[in-house]
Chain A
Amino acid sequence: MNQLTLLITSSILGGFLTIFLPPLYDGIHRKIKARIHCRVGPPVMQTIYDLGKLMVKDDIVPEGASSLFLYAPYLAFSYLLLTSIMVPMIYLRSAIGFTCDLILILYLLSSSTIFLALGGLGSGNVFAYEGARRELTMTILTELAAIFSLISIMIRCGALRMTEIYEKISMIHPVPSIIIASGVLLACAYIEGFRLPFELPEAEPEISSGIIIEYSGRRLAAFKLSVFMKQFLLVALAVNILEPWSISNLILGLPIFVLKTFIVYLVFAILEPLFARFRIQEALKSILTICGISIISLILAGLGV
């Protein structure tokens, strides 16, 4: 097929994958975590069943809620959907300048985090405030790490558009700054997905579910799906930066991409049961360490290493 159709199909396919794959991966994650805990665990499709069940529930809105609360999960979802169409996942080369640049992607990802926090802040519940507050505090540093690593990639490759970056990486591969930067991105993906050491904003017995406490029904489904999608997008970015092979045959490219992300999710699933939840001070210290590593990659990129 010619370039344009290939591109459009790849983008739409990327969008579909981003909606349906993360819940599946979350189900696998829960299964593996359960097995490590020596329990049977939920079936692999459980998260999809959960989301489906949430979609048919009643809509309950607390009396202290603002309109931000009502719209925020959908806004976050829409920004993430837009990003998933723009980020090239399967077909990574394109002669047509159809893709956008890394800065826009970064902005869209940060916007979705901000909207999720805004939703929590708009719910009028003080537990949600506490969760949103912790999320925002963590986000400052996580976004810093992600920004520095993406900038180091952009500077090392001398390009802003994703397709140019992938081409450049496959030419100059391997490069220490890009390896370290994609490692940092994977760590950020883990943190942004609210995986266990960093599960502060969400389901926390201390603040009884934190930001999602007042959400129910479709909004909760949109919220959870947004978090899954955000983690998936960061993983997809990192994985494609680490190994930017590209095959123009979509039928072959799809399993390879799924395999790449699956391996990462497997590692995440094995990592999560090893940790207990951090308090906010410890979480900030760990994220600071990750920021330090991203500064290493920034310096290396500046040196041209």
Chain B
Amino acid sequence: MLLTVFALFIIASLLGAFLPSIRWRSRISCILSSIASIILLYASAKALLGSPIRQTIFSGLASIPLELDRLSALFLLIFSIPYTLTSIYSIKYIEDEYVNAGIDVRRHSICFPIFLMSMMGVILVRSGLWLIVFWELMSFTSYFLITFEHGKREVRDAGFIYFIMSHIAAALLIVTVISLASWTHPPSFTYSSLRDAYHRSPLPALIGLPIIFTIAMWIKGGIVPVHFWLPRAYPAAPSNVSALFAGVMEKVPIFLLTYFTFRIFDPTILSGLLTCIPGIISMVIGCLYAIPQRDDKVLLAYSTIGQVGYIWFALGAGILLYSYSRSLALLAIILISSGLFHLLNHSLFKPMLFTITGNVLIKTKSRDMDVLGGLGRAMPITSIACLIGCLSLIGLPPFNGFASKWSIYVSGIASSTVNMVSIPIYVGVALAMFSGTLTAIYSLKFYSEIFSGESRIDVEAGDVSAIILIPELILGILCIILGVFPGVAFSAIFPAVQPMIPEVDLAELFKGVGFLYSILMIPTMLPLSTMYFILLAAIAPIIFVIAYQLAHPRRTSIQPTWLGGFRHVLRDTKLVAASFYSEFESMLGSFYQIRVRRPRIAYPEPNADLVLVKPWIWIGRALGELRRIQVGPIQIYVAILLILLISFLLMGVIG
């Protein structure tokens, strides 16, 4: 069945290249991609619930070992939902946006299915060589997709930066794979032989290779020190491609990281810290940078960095706990599962939000939130979908964002009773909650700047066509379902995570617990009844909206908006996006700016008398410097006092 999926993608791409009719080129490639994705969905669901599939395509030297084990099946299941829905979305989107404008979309119809296939391949292969091949394929196709509108300067620049960063990541990956492969005895690239090679490798490699690998995953995953390609690449790409980037391509490094950490390298405290701490930093910085943005896609790009930071934090915390002590395996598995649940949720609402910006782009040709606005009346269904997406992003109770963030918080706090290792975890939870507030802030800005109030552009009423709207609505419905019944997701995630952490038998632990109630049940931490209250929190708004409808008087009169007695046209007085949080920006202004360091150029002095005269001059100067101790500012003396005091006390403690 996997072969069918591969074949369908390749056929889609070929047809997209060679079909004579322009309109049908893009349509067929997208339609075939969506069919392939549905088959992928089915295959991965079957593998997750049933048994792993192992397959080898071709044989001999060019054999591609594929394995659909539980973890891969989970990831492919998560991916296939955005795959399918984005492909369906692309059918009409590419047509409306580009074909109708006369732009040649061959680049898209060739690369799109190959892009999907390459990501699938990265997840499925079990050979280092083919991993590199599919990874490079992914980088190339994504580059071509980003530079789709290569007429624009910033798109070309964005593509260039992306290309370089992506290949730096690929280079680091190649270094890892090849150095491991060089130590294999019968030379082979398969993961099992790489694992043996790792365990036999010398000490510097034992420590260094996971670090190099993790840095490669940072670059690709948009983690903060190396994230700067992301906010340029996402707006440059077409909306359906951005949706896939955010929903799928960001998750591929997470899969590789998880797989490699648990199956090839062993989970160590260092790898846990390297995953957890950059995750925390990305979480805060991503959300902080999203706040002052004017371009809606850049806002969503930074938001992606922030949310992916949550996932890395949870994963890193789990790895940290697991490597610290095997007895914390239960907490570790729950943290990792919460991280993967957030991954699932993010892959649902983030593509939805990106495709919504695509809708807005179709109607208004603009990404600038300063001029957008008031589209709620012109595009009612889109605005409802956007509201659902924003509320899921914020993490309010009936939606899935709440369930996953809550799981992360609860499991993070539960693990804060362990000693040194838990300091990053509980600092991370505090910062995660703070990022939650920041997320609320920028999503509210996003929603209200686009859909509320009055717009400054003329937009004709009438939403975009149904084929574009249906995938978004399906994603919205999935968000609500997973928010109210998170047990569904956990029942898929736990079997996937279980094989990596064999010390805990989750099936045994949750035996007898019902389908609906199987959300996080950390024993002795959360009783069953908490679930009731979460359900109640989900139902409460519905109850009260109904009550409102019943209790409210029928007589409603509509009056003009009060503007202090003036008769302004509302659109002239719109609150622009740039000034939405201006006080915050002025407070954090120095934080948001990039400081440019001027290079220091030192000119060497001519040294004729270097040997004879200079040393004496230097000694004289040094003695003069000694005099400085005496006439220094008071602060230094007091500082010496402080240091002496502390060292005496320290001697008291240690001695």
Contact = CB atoms under 8 A, between A and B. Distances in A.
A and B touch in the complex (CB under 8 A): yes
Interface of A: 58-66, 68, 71, 74-75, 77-79, 81-82, 86, 96-98, 100-101, 103-104, 106-108, 110-111, 114, 117-118, 121-127, 129-130, 132-133, 136-137, 139-140, 143-144, 147-148, 151, 154-155, 158, 160-161, 208, 213-214, 217-218, 280-281, 284, 298, 302
A78 B430 CA distance: 27
A185 B509 CA distance: 38
B537 interface: yes
A268 B376 CA distance: 41
Interface string B397-426: 100001000100110011011000001001
B70 to A, nearest CB: 30
A160 B564 CA distance: 48
A132 to B, nearest CB: 8
B541 interface: yes
A125 B561 contact: yes
Contact of A64 (B451, B453, B530, B548): B453
B51 interface: no
- Majority secondary structure of chain B interface residues (helix, strand, loop or mixed): helix
B521 to A, nearest CB: 12
- Majority secondary structure of chain A interface residues (helix, strand, loop or mixed): helix
Contacts of B434: 143-144, 147-148
Contact of A208 (B417, B452, B525, B564): B564
Contact of B564 (A63, A117, A122, A127): A127
B560 A63 contact: yes
B559 A62 contact: yes
Given A107-B406, A114-B394, A136-B444, A126 B574 contact: yes
A74 B533 contact: no
Nearest to A150: B433
Contact of A302 (B426, B540, B541): B426
B410 A147 contact: no
A66 B451 contact: yes
A75 B547 CA distance: 11
Instruction: List the 5 closest pairs (A to B, CB-CB), nearest first.
Output: A97-B527, A78-B544, A121-B448, A129-B575, A126-B573
Interface residues of B, number: 74
A71 B423 contact: no
A63 B559 contact: yes
B537 to A, nearest CB: 6
Given A68-B387, A151-B429, 13 more contacts: A63-B560, A68-B452, A79-B541, A103-B406, A114-B444, A126-B563, A126-B574, A129-B448, A147-B434, A147-B437, A148-B430, A158-B417, A281-B586
B389 interface: no
B581 A136 contact: yes
A61 B558 CA distance: 5
Interface in B104-137: none
7 contacts: A66-B377, A114-B396, A124-B454, A124-B561, A127-B562, A151-B430, A208-B562
B592 interface: no
A155 B448 contact: no
A62 B413 CA distance: 45
B552 interface: yes
A82 B537 contact: yes
A155 B427 CA distance: 11
Nearest to B543: A78
A154 B525 CA distance: 13
B247 interface: no
B645 interface: no
A127 B563 contact: yes
B402 A107 contact: yes
B558 A63 contact: yes
Interface in B536-567: 536-537, 540-541, 543-545, 547-548, 551-553, 555-564
A217 B558 CA distance: 13
Contacts of A68: 387, 452
B406 A104 contact: yes
Most chain A CB within 10 A, of B406, B548, B574, is at B548
A107 B396 contact: yes
Contacts of B444: 114, 117-118, 121, 136
Contacts of A71: 545, 548
A160 B412 CA distance: 11
B16 interface: no
B581 A137 contact: yes
Interface string B432-473: 011011101100110010011110000000000000000000
A169 to B, nearest CB: 16
B430 A298 contact: yes
A108 B540 CA distance: 11
Contacts of B440: 110, 114
A58 to B, nearest CB: 6
A148 B435 CA distance: 12
B543 A111 contact: no
B580 interface: yes
B529 interface: yes
A129 to B, nearest CB: 4
B437 A160 contact: no
Nearest to B539: A82
Contacts of A75: 541, 544-545
Contacts of B417: 158
